[in-house]
Amino acid sequence: MKRIIRISGIVLAVSLWSMPGILRATSWTNYTNTNEVRQISIASDKVWQATSGGVVAYTPSSEGILKLTNTDGLGGIDFRCVEVDTAGNLWFGTNDGWLTRIEDSGMIANYPIRDSSGGFFAREVTLYDIEADGDRLWIANDLGVSKFSIYSNGGEIRDTARKLGNMELEEDAVCLSLIGNQLWVGTARGIAFIDKDNQNIQYFGFWRSFAAGDSGLLNADIRSIASYHDTVIVGTADGIYKFETSPDTLWTPIGLAGQQIRKLLLHNDTLYAASNGGIYRYDGSNWWGMPLTGFPAGLATDIAIDSSGGLWAGTRLSGLAGYIDSVWTIISIPGPASNVIPSIAIDSTGAVWMTHDARGLSRLENNQWTTFNVSNSDPDGPGPLLGLATNSAVDIDIAADGNIWVGDWGGGLYKYDHVSWYHWDYTNCPMFGVPGYPEYWAASAVAVDDSGTVWVTSLDSDSGLVMGAFDPGDSTWERYFTGPNTVSLNQVTALYSHGNTLWVGMTEGLHRLDFGGTPMLQSDDSWQNDISLEFVSDIALDPFGSLWFGSPTGLYRLSPGTGEVRQVELLPEIAGSVNAVASDGVGNIWVGTVAGLGVLRPDTTIWRTYYTTDNSPLLNNEVIDLEIDIVTGIVYIGTNKGLSIFESGVEPPSDDLSNVAAYPNPVNIAAGDGAVYFKRIPVDAIISIYTVGGDLVESFPFSRQDYWNLKNSKGESIAGGIYIFLVESGNKSGVGKFAVIK
């Protein structure tokens, strides 16, 4: 099914995702970092950008920004290239095998580009560059070069050249250019060309290729190809060459030796080059560097010139740059500091915090993004060590008083009190890093217990330091070392605090510390070691007292009654290493794996549903972390492609069941509604459906299903009208009603 949506004057055809199972989404929202601009292209009055976090269009005249992700109908999210065809349609290629067309009307079409030659499973093909050629496209990819027919069968790959002359089979083609009647293709090991109208591009003998050392081509790592005065010019990893055929075939260097050339562009008889040393203009004899004031690090990934002569450049970390009034101006879109999100936490105001390994931290609050890193985290503030010293935050937890606590890989422990950053390392606390490098304190995990004590690890310290307990009230520390009364290993991967218990997950097992309410006193501690010997990646506790933990070997449950650890079989669709686990307000267990996201009923171990990129707008199947807002039911999903937010509709019931609800209400069968769903229901409840006259229509346990299929106990379709539903859980009950329209 398709829906037409108009956004900022652009019409989008958006596929409505079909959810398996019985959980229904009210909405998905995706946030990505678009600061890595891979390619840019000018179409109409917009500068279109292929980025690592979707497609972006910038309109210079109005300074308007349009950002599109997979929730807007794009097939993928990680884009590498963009091209405009002769009909004005935009074409985008992704890292994971999607060719997307955005027509001038705004309609979107997606084409999966897969390679099935290697066996039963089709492999996603990486698309590096696109060149429009009338009714066809030439696509540089990791197989070689493909010819795509725009109008044949609605668009399809017709041929693929997997061997270009004497080059290796399936050498990655990274750039291409049409020069006269010839198609030129660049790779990391050489360059080749063929007559573009040759009907057998698959035969390598029709291609002529040049490798390193051939005809004077000293560097064959080709990055860009252009034509200048009817001469083929190539940018390489070491300078620029031109191709001469008279009197002999020869590649001649023409400048910028020692520089990596990212892009060559011809405009109004002027040749431009973007390199790791800046942006240059060529006058036929010499290269002249352009001013770089305001340009981040002087590095451009791509350049383009609009109809008014405005110069635009893509950057690797800062978004789009425009050369305006002899100064570069950065146009960056708010979003997470990075698309890799290994840890998420929610504070009492509902703001979402996340770490990004080497890019600092991000906060999403009221749809506004804030980034914290070494350059903006009050380096002159009142904290003990004056702000963030590194950007390597890996884990985050939030105390009851609202303070943000962060474990840093190599930097130690940080606190943010919403005004200033505070920092602890070996110079101002007894914690330390590896022998010989005490300043390298890898705080791999951090957790704040109910008393406000901060538990923070010290990964892989040869001295046996496992973790520290820090009392922020009196600034005292208690250190925990390996030993007979603690644990025998100090490679901690996860911490989880509940009451007087600290669960400690390691690379070789799960352990439990009962600190008896006195975390700063070890004499009354009680350790339960080796509860499991599995690698522990994440830990969660459900409302019924069961402990759940993820591992590269799967999902595990520790029963509170028997103390038995049992592995829970994953759905085949999401099978793989488990990275994250979380419990929602009614006890569902959400499981993030390398293959997707699953939802499990903890009381019956029945899988309710799953989400992958095939059946939902989930940004990426590799889920790294999960955090659930218990009150709202919103699920925050950290991936390596950005942040996905899913409004699950799962909310905790009130103590007296006064807030039970049914949706949609009314249920319109004529409009396509096939069931009514229930919210804020205890997991052990029984739901009974009655007519307004008091006749029982159907009854079922909520643990089996959270919806009613609008049929009575005999399987017959019900009549339209008003229905009453009764929810019974133990000695509590709640009542609601809904209407059915036929």
- Report the CATH number at residue 682: 2.60.40
Long-range contacts of 143-151 (CB under 8 A, 24+ apart): 143/115, 143/170, 143/173, 144/170, 144/171, 144/173, 144/185, 145/173, 145/176, 145/183, 145/185, 145/201, 146/113, 147/201, 148/99, 148/111, 150/85
Residue 678 counted as domain residue: yes
Residue 676 counted as domain residue: yes
DSSP state for residue 277 in the 8-state scheme: T
The pLDDT value given to residue 428: 93
DSSP state for residue 437 in the 8-state scheme: B
Residue 707 counted as domain residue: yes
Give, in degrees to the nearest 5, the angle at Cα 46 between 265 and 105. 120
Residue 698 counted as domain residue: yes
Mean pLDDT, each 10-residue run in order, the chain (742 residues): 28 33 62 96 95 97 95 95 96 97 93 82 92 97 97 93 96 97 97 97 97 96 96 97 91 96 94 94 93 82 93 94 90 94 95 94 96 78 67 96 96 93 93 89 96 93 90 96 91 96 96 95 94 97 92 95 91 97 92 97 82 95 96 93 92 86 90 87 90 94 84 92 95 94 90
Counting the structural domains of the chain, the total is 1
Residue 206 to residues 171, 175, 202, 426, Cα–Cα distance (Å) = 16, 19, 8, 66
Residue 375 burial (C-beta neighbours within 10 Å; 0-12, 13-18, 19+): exposed
The pLDDT value given to residue 385: 60
Residue 204 counted as domain residue: no
Residue 734 counted as domain residue: yes
Residue 599 counted as domain residue: no
The pLDDT value given to residue 16: 31
The pLDDT value given to residue 381: 53
Separation CA 51–CA 48 (nearest Å): 10
Structural domain range at position 677:
661-741
The pLDDT value given to residue 7: 30
Least Cα distance to 211 among 169, 260, 165, 263 occurs for: 165
Residue 485 to residues 497, 525, 531, Cα–Cα distance (Å) = 20, 9, 16
The pLDDT value given to residue 684: 81
Residue 685 counted as domain residue: yes
The pLDDT value given to residue 120: 59
DSSP-assigned letters across all residues of 543-590: TTS-EEEEETTEEEEE-TTT--EEEEPPPGGG-S-EEEEEE-TTSPEE
